[in-house]
Amino acid sequence: MSTTFRSAATTFADLVRAIPESAWDGPGLGEWDLRALVGHASRSLITVSTYLQTRADHKDVTSPADYYAWVREHLTTADAGAIVERGRQAGRDLGEHPAETVDSLLERALDDVAAVEDPLITVIGGLGLRLSTYLPTRVFELAVHGLDVARATGLDFALPDDVLADATVLAARISVRLGTATPVLLALTGRSELPSGFSVV
């Protein structure tokens, strides 16, 4: 269905294969070591396969930006410690051969997406949405966390143009949805800098 999802997922798996053995226990992002960061990112493959086993009878959001706005509000009441631990567990679940595990997750996700049209699925929090609405959020996650992994490891990493375009446009649309687009536009055009710690997610 989504060539951009395939592009993002394949590029991420290629990056994971390039990670040296000595780096897995090193720094990743925030409280996560590299293994936990990669594990968290790999959930963007796992959830596609998992959620495709569900069906929803209602549509709660109709755009990827609306999905992120919903998630942002949902996270205000979430247990931050539990989120960190889920990432660590996802890292442990990668096993002794993380790259091979990610390759298997990639193959399964791509096969699962290719086997369907555009079902209405149930995702986090019981949210109902179309697969075509969900996949761009996975492109965004794989792109951003791929960059996180590259920064943590010092590996050369270039996202494909289609992935960069979709992820950047989605970030802009999220900022519009959240009412923070003006400072983003000013920053992108060199008029001002974004506030410290600014994020659309």
| pLDDT tens by residue, 140-173 | 999 999 999 999 999 999 999 999 999 999 999 9
Say whether pLDDT at 73 is over 90: no
Round to whole Å and give the CA distance between 77 and 36.
Answer: 23
Residues 6+ apart with CB under 8 A from 57: 120, 128
Q: What is the mean pLDDT of residues 70-97?
A: 88
Provide the residue ranges of all domains of the chain, joining segments of one domain with +: 3-63+75-157
Q: How many residues does the chain have?
A: 201
What's 27's DSSP letter? E
Q: Say what the pLDDT of residue 162 is.
A: 97
27: phi then psi, degrees, rounded to nearest 5:
-60, 145
Helix (H, G, I), strand (E, B) or coil at 95: coil
pLDDT at 76: 77
Residue 106 has pLDDT above 70, yes or no: yes
- When pLDDT is cut at 50, 70 and 90, the band that residue 72 belongs to is confident
pLDDT in tens, 31-49: 999 999 999 999 999 999 9
With 0-12 / 13-18 / 19 or more C-beta atoms within 10 angstroms meaning exposed / middle / buried, residue 5 is buried
Work out the pLDDT band at 80, boundaries 50, 70, 90.
confident
| pLDDT band at 182; cut points 50, 70, 90 | very high
How far apart, in whole angstroms, are the C-alpha atoms of residue 159 and residue 165?
10
pTM over 0.85: yes
**Average pLDDT in the chain:** 95
Phi/psi for 57 (5° steps) reads: -110, 10
- pLDDT for position 1: 58
Where do we find the tokens 């008029």?
191
CATH architecture of the domain formed by 3-63+75-157: Up-down Bundle (1.20)
- Rounded Cα distance, 62 and 176, in Å: 15
Query: Average pLDDT in the 5-28 region?
Result: 97
CA–CA distance, 120 with 131 (Å, rounded to integer): 6
C-beta separation of 11 from 146 below 8 A: yes
Q: What is the pLDDT of residue 83?
A: 86
The letter for the amino acid at 16 is V
- Structure-token pair, residue 192: 């001002």
Residue 141 Rama label (left phi>0; alpha psi -120 to 50; beta): alpha
Greater confidence, 73 or 34?
34
CA dist 125 and 16 (Å) reads 29
